Amino acid sequence: MPTKIRTENQVGRRLKLRDLHVFFTVVQCGSMARAAGQLGVSQPTVSEVIADLEHTFGVRLLDRRPQGVEPTMYGAALFRRSVAAFDELKQSSRDIEFLADPTAGELQIGCPDSIAASVLPSFIKHFRSQHPRVVMHVSTVPPPAVRSPGLRDRKYDLILAWQATPLPDDLADELNMEGLFNDRLVLAAGMHTRWARRRKIDLAELVGESWILNEPTAWSYSRVVQEFRARGLDMPTASLVTPSFPLIMHFVANGEFITACPRSVAHLSALKELSADLPSWPWPVVILTLKNRTLSPVAERFIQCAREAAKPLAAGAGKLPFHGKEA
């Protein structure tokens, strides 16, 4: 059925923020009755708001079903934009708060636990020296961090991650990626092991040793496989396979195990970087932000502090293996 196209001015005059909030709540609840209860209004009031919105846009936004409601393709499109609209309003409130008092504010950061245990503390320390009253919320993001929905859902202001390759095509239009510095993938063992005392190690000597590695889908795992195969060697059998870096570091530091990890993690976990004859495996630390989302002043200040704190780490590291801003 042909739909009458409304002009921006027509919609702008008739659309109320309160009505959009009601629609947003209905979609989240999946029921007009539950939305009414959450909003503290009657169900007929909610139904009237939805009917007015459908009249404003000239399309059906919700399909009514016995078990509740669900958005039509038009409703789903409006809901996606509503998420962005309410996020921008919330950001505006945070911006005003921070501009009124630059020592205050909040910041939401997502990162893998390996980043949280290595480079993030130095970034936070540098940031807190300038903004000690800002409250920072740090959440663990499972790898691969670029696939985390947290940025698109506006849960995080930014994500810190290791990313050795360019953004996949399906994410390049959604995310910004800025390289801070090149970390490096190394082989490491506990300080008390016999491997820690060796000046030179041939990779063939490590085939039969006990290994702890990230999951097979991880970039670090694939690099280890690639190098062993390139030398005609069998891939070592891992005693433990897990994406948890704290768990890997615990067992490597306290047992006769070998792992592949970022150099910064090995250093901060008091592990010994093994002197095996390996190619350089750059593993850039990057900041991910959402395109078409205005960063809050707090997020901008944190990113600037991260760039400054990364400079000693970036010194002499060379160019990033992909196009991006350098620290």
Q: What is the per-residue pLDDT across 92-110, written as a single tens digit (0 to 9) for each?
A: 777 777 676 766 788 999 9
Asked whether residue 129 falls in the same domain as residue 161, the answer is yes
Give residue for tokens 């704190």: 309
Q: What is the CATH number of the domain that holds 296?
A: 3.40.190.10
Taking residues 153-174, report their average pLDDT. 90
Q: Give the model's pLDDT for residue 305.
A: 95
Asked whether residue 47 falls in the same domain as residue 111, the answer is no
Domain count along the chain: 3
Is the pLDDT confidence value at 250 over 80? Answer: yes
> Could you tell me which of 86, 55, 50, 84 has the C-alpha nearest to residue 68?
50
Is the pLDDT confidence value at 146 over 60? Answer: yes
Q: Give the model's pLDDT for residue 1.
A: 41
Asked whether residue 143 falls in the same domain as residue 288, the answer is yes
- Mean residue pLDDT of the chain comes to 84
Asked whether residue 56 falls in the same domain as residue 108, the answer is no
Tally of residues, the chain: 327
Taking residues 9-21, report their average pLDDT. 71
Is the pLDDT confidence value at 14 over 80? Answer: no
User: Which region among 1-5, 178-182, 281-285 has the lowest average model confidence (pLDDT)?
Assistant: 1-5
* Residue 51, in any domain of the structure: yes
Q: Give the model's pLDDT for residue 108.
A: 94
Name which residue leads in pLDDT, 52 or 303.
Answer: 303
What are the angstrom distances between the C-alpha of 56 and each of 27, 72, 192? Answer: 18, 16, 72
Asked whether residue 294 falls in the same domain as residue 171, the answer is yes
- The residue segments making up the domain with residue 119 are 89-181+284-314
Taking residues 302-315, report their average pLDDT. 88
User: What is the Cα–Cα distance from 64 to 268, expressed in whole angstroms?
Assistant: 56
Asked whether residue 245 falls in the same domain as residue 267, the answer is yes
Asked whether residue 24 falls in the same domain as residue 167, the answer is no
Q: Give the model's pLDDT for residue 288.
A: 96
Asked whether residue 163 falls in the same domain as residue 229, the answer is no
Is the pLDDT confidence value at 189 over 90? Answer: yes
Helix (H, G, I), strand (E, B) or coil at 256: coil
Question: In DSSP terms, which residues pair with 160 in a beta bridge?
Answer: 287
Name which residue leads in pLDDT, 280 or 241.
Answer: 241
Asked whether residue 177 falls in the same domain as residue 288, the answer is yes
* Residue 322, in any domain of the structure: no
Is the pLDDT confidence value at 124 over 50? Answer: yes
pLDDT-derived band of residue 309, with 50, 70 and 90 as boundaries? very high
User: What is the Cα–Cα distance from 135 to 119, expressed in whole angstroms?
Assistant: 19
Give per-residue pLDDT as tens, 209-233: 999 999 888 888 888 999 999 999 9
Q: Give the model's pLDDT for residue 275.
A: 87
Asked whether residue 28 falls in the same domain as residue 107, the answer is no
pTM: 0.67
Q: Give the model's pLDDT for residue 199.
A: 87
Asked whether residue 73 falls in the same domain as residue 125, the answer is no
